[in-house]
Amino acid sequence: MTDSRSQNGHVVLVGAGPGDVGLLTLKGKDWLSRADVIVYDHLVGRNMMRFARDDAERIYAGKKAGHATLTQNAINALLIEKARKGKIVVRLKGGDPFVFGRGGEETQALKEAGVRFTVVPGIPSPVGVAAYAGIPLTHRDHSSTITIITGSNESGKEDIHIDWEKIAARTGTLVFLMGARKLPHIVERLMNFGKAAGTPVAVIQWGTTSRQRTWTGTLGTIVDLAAKEKIKPPALTIIGEVVGLKPIADWYEDLPLFGKVVVTTRAEEQSDSLIQMLEERGAEPFPCPAIQTIPPKDWAPLDQALEQLLSYDGIIFTSVNGVRFFTQRLREKDKDIRELKDVRVYAIGPKTADAVRGLNIRVDTVPEDFVAESLIESMGKENVEGKKFLLPRAAVAREILPDTLRKMGAAVDVAPAYQTVAPVTPDPEFLKQLQEGTIDVITFTSSSTVNNFMDRLDKDHHALLNQTTVACIGPVTKKTAEERGLRIAIVPEEYTVDALVSAIEAFYVK
């Protein structure tokens, strides 16, 4: 009897693009979010995994410095094995699966095994890396053809044969992939078959990422330059007159935060907008969540409040999480937003207000400054004496808002809608980069992110933190960070994530 689960197994070859997470296609992102198993390569950006489910099995199958974690035959067998267990398996590959990605071999093996598969193209590295390096691969005045060659298959007789004579004779653009170690050999062969020593050459390392570096020269100079600069993989080489257009078309390496590694400590589900803004400015975001939001230990206080929503004069949201968990529980209790039809709604901060408006609920009051004290000032003008308010919030939070409103004569029900917990251990990759001094900025967006982050580090790591630039979203977070021994370099005038990123940009522009 055939196992019905095995019939549903499915392998999806997804091209991840050349490095920048933003270059992942929408279809690739969708499959990644649905995957039960992800088999990924070395050049796939770590930030891309934020699109995956927390419970997805992740298997590294990368190749680094010529050493393969798994052989191609082993990878093929792994994909077949997981699919036959009824899993959705995403084979996440750098660039495009069918452009020197060995996707053809994998689909052949899957076809022979009777396993269903789908191919999702990705932006090939020659296209993406050249664009980020400011080098157009074609130009009406310089090149009307592109030749893409692998630079890593000249080690033995069984490797792909390269017709150097014909390649050297071509007048268009030549692109060599994976050829950093073979650069002297590539240059020698091209010049031996007549390619002029003055032909422009560019070598781009870690293209489309904040670690991108570009070296330009000619066939006659590039080998000495590569040796002097110790250029290592991953690197892509472009040869041809189009290289001379780089000063005109350059854009990525001129971004204000290009090359900066910025640690984000927000909860993972809240980090997308911050990460996107950093990437748009050329930074490399390093997600290191110091906080995770989960349901409260006891829903009873909020459930009781939901049963008597019409008894409240107002509801106060202090965070996007408060809105999210409140509405989630409202639905779980078979209620909807119509329960709030006669209740005034208050929100601290524009993001919180936007989350409320996204539910088609009008926000009555948003204070000028995005802190509790400013909301108290705004509500004081309304005369809250004798009125009753609901405050769905984190299980542990500052008491200044409910305490002050009570002193003003209001009744306030505080109902935990969620709680925050900290990861047990720090990210080993973060500790490694902190010790190497490659972290440029650490951002904190709440006091809880500061405390949770610091609690996971020992004293030696605390000292290293003050060798980096620390940015806090506002004065309350700054005060907490200073109490934990940190020196704060950046605090925006407006206490929002947008303003925080702008302040980091202004700091480096100066």
User: pLDDT of 396-427, one tens digit each?
Assistant: 888 888 898 899 899 999 999 998 887 777 88
- The CATH-assigned architecture of domain 127-254 is 2-Layer Sandwich (3.30)
Report pLDDT for 338: 73
Report pLDDT for 86: 95
Peptide bond into 247 cis (omega under 30): no
CA separation, residue 217 to residues 197, 235, 395, 466 (Å): 10, 15, 60, 39
Which has more pLDDT, 438 or 152?
Answer: 438
What confidence tens digit (pLDDT) does each residue in 241-265 have? Answer: 999 999 999 999 999 999 999 999 9
SS3 486: coil
Report pLDDT for 220: 97
What confidence tens digit (pLDDT) does each residue in 453-473 have? Answer: 999 888 888 888 988 999 999
Choosing among 1.10.260.40, 3.40.50.10090, 3.30.70.240, 3.40.720.10, the CATH entry for 261-291+423-509 is 3.40.50.10090
Whether residue 297 lies in the annotated active site: no
Burial 147-172 (b: 16+ CB within 10 A, else e): ebbbbbbbeeeeeeebebeebbeeeb
**pLDDT band (50, 70, 90) for residue 297:** very high
Averaged pLDDT of the chain: 89
The Cα–Cα gap between 177 and 238 comes to 9
**pLDDT band (50, 70, 90) for residue 157:** very low
What confidence tens digit (pLDDT) does each residue in 27-80 have? Answer: 999 999 999 999 998 878 777 888 998 889 999 988 765 566 789 999 999 999
Burial 228-246 (b: 16+ CB within 10 A, else e): eeebebbbbbbbbebbebb
9-123 belongs to which homologous superfamily? Tetrapyrrole methylase, N-terminal domain (3.40.1010.10)
> CATH class for domain 294-420?
alpha beta
Whether residue 41 lies in the annotated active site: yes
- Beta bridge partner(s), residue 314: 344, 389
Report pLDDT for 64: 64
Q: Which residue of the set 36, 82, 93, 178 is catalytic? A: 178
Q: Which residue of the set 36, 41, 413, 427 is catalytic? A: 41
Q: Judge residue 510's burial from the number of C-beta atoms within 10 Å of its C-beta, 0-12 exposed, 13-18 middle, 19 or more buried.
A: exposed
Whether residue 277 lies in the annotated active site: no
CA separation, residue 185 to residues 192, 227, 295 (Å): 10, 13, 60
Tokens matching residue 502: 């702008």
What confidence tens digit (pLDDT) does each residue in 96-147 have? Answer: 999 998 999 999 999 999 999 999 999 999 999 999 999 999 999 999 999 9
| DSSP, res 220 | T
List phi, psi (to 5°) of 209.
-115, 170
Q: Which residue of the set 27, 63, 333, 479 is catalytic? A: 63
